[in-house]
Amino acid sequence: MKKYFGTDGVRGRANSFPMTPEVALLLGKAAGAYFRNGNHRHMVVVGKDTRLSGYMLEYALIAGFTSAGMDVRSVGPLPTPAIGMLTRALRADLGVMITASHNAYTDNGIKLFGPDGFKLADEAELEIEDLMGNPENHLSAAPVDIGQVAVYQDAKGRYVEAAKASFPRELTLAGVKIVLDCANGAGYRVAPQALWELGAEVDSIGITPNGENINHDCGSTRPEAMARRVVETGADIGIALDGDADRLIVCDENGTVVDGDQIMARIATDRMKAGTLMGGGAVTTVMSNFAMDRYFEAEGMKLLRTGVGDRYVVERMRQDGYTLGGEQSGHIVLTDYATTGDGLIAALQILAACVQQQRPVSELCRLFEPAPQIKKNIAFTGRSPLEQTAVQAVIRDVTERLGASGRLLVRPSGTEPLVRVLVEGECPDTIGKAADEVVHALQSASVKVGV
């Protein structure tokens, strides 16, 4: 069992365990010791999003890394995928992104990337936790070997150029009007710049971060403002990133929201026709709509499923030779361009399809009719209600009654004190009743409904 790491790094409420400067210092020292191999100068790339607590955690991590003999290259606010890219490009030993992704500013987190630019495997996280539990074994650097700190000035430009390289060189976005919502987060500078340099007319919102407004009524989890702006201005497409810009949600010219399932299907279809769909399909999670399976099968493509979390998607992609994967929530992973989900690069693939095929988003990104699906988030304090026998009995009963005509997925969130409920099936009334029954059981277990 892990004490600090969850499904996507270490995450929690800012200034409360484990998101304290004390833990960050210990993590920096332990991770620095873990990746300090060989006699060369060792380096870590440190980035963050725009939330207030980022400074507190950044400086604590830097103290730990330099104590362990790591030179630090600080890059400031940049998307999570930029940290993976820079870690590999600069031949760093380690990369760190300080972010709680789509969560409110009161939360924060720490994501670690290995020298290959990919997120760490469970085994590496467990070994780092072991070092954190035995600080006397960290082997602190000698005074002469203490790490140095510098700001890496070229980071934003390198990421912008890397993102632009994923867009076909022979195409231009001239004449394309885009509403871009950067969620007041890590992509607020680089995303508008990249799209403008490719020729687009960019109407940017969510680009005035103040440390507290990240993801607040904006971004991929709140795309309503983006969709309204698209309709009001007559834009061709809306693009909404989340706080660390590793996911996106788009909307068409009519303001209709398009989720990650449809985005993956579009990219997979185009790559299949072009003969560039490695593995013959894509990897997604158990959260994706099951109508997606039918579409992929009808088009002669494979669709593999994993547990929730883009890290598990990427692990399966690498294991089976796939270069496309993602989640319904908008994590789209294209490993021929990035080592983790990248909202900007994924958006550029949709934009390229629009330009090449001269078709609107409403036609390109409605490839299958989703099965009815209901999602609920149940907040709790203390022990998870999923541990209670009565709740488990209701889940079993509902699952049996749904049978082959539906699907129930109940799971704890890996990043928040929530139980997530998903019910899917052919009949809206049936899944509505099933969702109500499960939610009532969870509420009866002394929890409250979240949003």
Annotated catalytic residue within 74, 101, 204, 329: 101
Pairwise CA distance, residues 250 & 296, whole Å: 21
Query: How far is residue 289 from each of residues 168, 219, 348, 364, 368, measured CA to CA in Å?
Result: 30, 22, 23, 18, 10
**Coil, helix or strand for 414?**
coil
Do you know the residue count of the chain?
A: 451
- Written as one letter, the residue type at 301 is M
The position carrying tokens 């290959």 is 116
Cβ count within 10 A of residue 379: 15
Angle of CA points 337, 65, 149, to nearest 5°: 80
Output the six-digit token pair for 71: 């030179």
Peptide bond into 385 cis (omega under 30): no
> What is the edge-to-edge ordering of all strands in the sheet holding 107-113?
5-6, 9-13, 107-113, 94-98, 42-48, 70-77, 149-151
- 101 catalytic? Reply is yes
Give me the DSSP letters along 184-252. Answer: TSTTTTHHHHHHHHTT-EEEEES----SS-TTTT-STT-THHHHHHHHHHT-SEEEEE-TTSS-EEEE-
Element (H, E) at 150: strand 149-151
CB-based contacts of 20-23 (< 8 A; 24+ apart in sequence):
21/56, 21/57, 21/59, 21/60, 22/60
Give the active site residues: 101
